[in-house]
Amino acid sequence: MAEKNYKSDLRVINIGTQFFYDALEAQGVKATQINWRPPVKQSEEVKAALAAVSTPELKAKIDAANQKAVHCVIDSQPFLVDILPAGDVIEGLDDYTIIHSGPPIKYEDMVMLHQRGMVSACRFEGWAKTDEEAVELVKSGKVKIISALDTNTVGAGTGIITKSVAMFIIEDRATGKISANFPAEGPNQGGFCGWGLYSEEIADYLRRMREEFFPVMRAVLKKMGGMAVKPILAESFQMGDENHTRQTATDLIFDKKILPELFKLLADENSGFTKEQIMDTLDYIVETPRFFHCIGQGASRSAMLSAVGTEYSSMVTAICGNGVEFGIKVAGLGDNEWFTAPAPLMKGRYTSSKFTEKDQLPWIGDSCVVECAGMGGLAAAASPIVCSLRGLKLKDAIHITREMEEICIDHNPAFPVPNLDFDFLPVGIDIMKVIETGICPEIHGGMFNYQGGLIGAGSARVPMQCFEKAIKAFAKKYANK
- Given pLDDT bands bounded at 50, 70 and 90, which one contains residue 41? confident
How many domains, in total, are found in the chain? 3
Residues 70 and 85 in one domain: no
Residue 372's H or E segment, with its range, is helix 369-372
Residues 132 and 242 in one domain: yes
116-139 mean pLDDT: 96
What is the reported pLDDT for 452? 79
Mean pLDDT of the chain: 92
Residues 150 and 239 in one domain: yes
pTM tops 0.85, yes or no = yes
Q: Which residues lie below 8 Å from residue 2, measured CB to CB, with a gap of 6+?
A: none
Residues 351 and 265 in one domain: no
Beta carbons of 219 and 262 less than 8 angstroms apart:
no
What is the reported pLDDT for 469? 98
What is the reported pLDDT for 457? 87
Residues 291 and 415 in one domain: no
Q: DSSP secondary structure string, 176-231?
A: --EEEEPPP--TT--SHHHH----HHHHHHHHHIIIIIHHHHHHHHHHHT-EESHH
Decide which of 2 and 65 is more confident.
65
| Residue 104 counted as domain residue | yes
Q: Using CA of residue 378, residue 379, residue 381, residue 386, what is the dihedral sign?
A: negative
pLDDT exceeds 60 at position 287: yes
Q: Name the β-bridge partners of 365.
A: 321
φ/ψ bin of 461: left (φ > 0), alpha (ψ from -120 to 50), beta (otherwise) = beta
What is the reported pLDDT for 480? 81
Q: Using CA of residue 64, residue 70, residue 74, residue 76, what is the dihedral sign?
A: positive
Q: What percent of the chain has pLDDT over 90?
A: 77
Tens digit of each residue's pLDDT (9 = 90 or more) over 165-218: 999 999 999 999 999 999 999 887 568 888 888 888 888 999 999 999 999 999
| Residue 398 counted as domain residue | yes
Residues 330 and 201 in one domain: no
Beta carbons of 365 and 161 less than 8 angstroms apart:
no
Cα 271 to chain centroid distance, Å, stands at 36
Residue 417's H or E segment, with its range, is strand 408-417
- Given pLDDT bands bounded at 50, 70 and 90, which one contains residue 105? very high
147-163 mean pLDDT: 95
Whole-angstrom Cα distance, residue 100 to residue 115? 10
- Count of residues in the chain: 481
Whole-angstrom Cα distance, residue 223 to residue 219? 6
Residues 253 and 329 in one domain: no
Residues 121 and 65 in one domain: no
What is the reported pLDDT for 391? 83
Task: Please tell me the least confidently modeled range out of 284-298, 349-363, 423-437.
Answer: 349-363
* Final residue in a domain of this structure, among 249, 270, 295: 295
50-61 mean pLDDT: 95
pLDDT exceeds 60 at position 5: no
Strands 227-228, 347-350: pairing kind: unpaired
Task: Please tell me the least confidently modeled range out of 44-53, 107-116, 263-272.
Answer: 263-272
Task: Please tell me the least confidently modeled range out of 40-49, 285-294, 432-441.
Answer: 40-49
What residues make up the domain containing 22? 8-37
Whole-angstrom Cα distance, residue 289 to residue 293? 9
* Final residue in a domain of this structure, among 261, 295, 329: 295
What is the reported pLDDT for 389? 80
Whole-angstrom Cα distance, residue 31 to residue 13? 6
Burial zone of 453 (CB within 10 Å; 0-12 exposed, 13-18 middle, 19+ buried): middle
Whole-angstrom Cα distance, residue 246 to residue 93? 30
Q: At 252, which CATH number?
A: 3.90.1710.10
Residues 319 and 412 in one domain: yes
- Name the DSSP class of 368: T
What is the reported pLDDT for 188? 72
Strands 347-350, 325-330: pairing kind: unpaired
What is the reported pLDDT for 35? 67
415-427 mean pLDDT: 97
What is the reported pLDDT for 18? 65
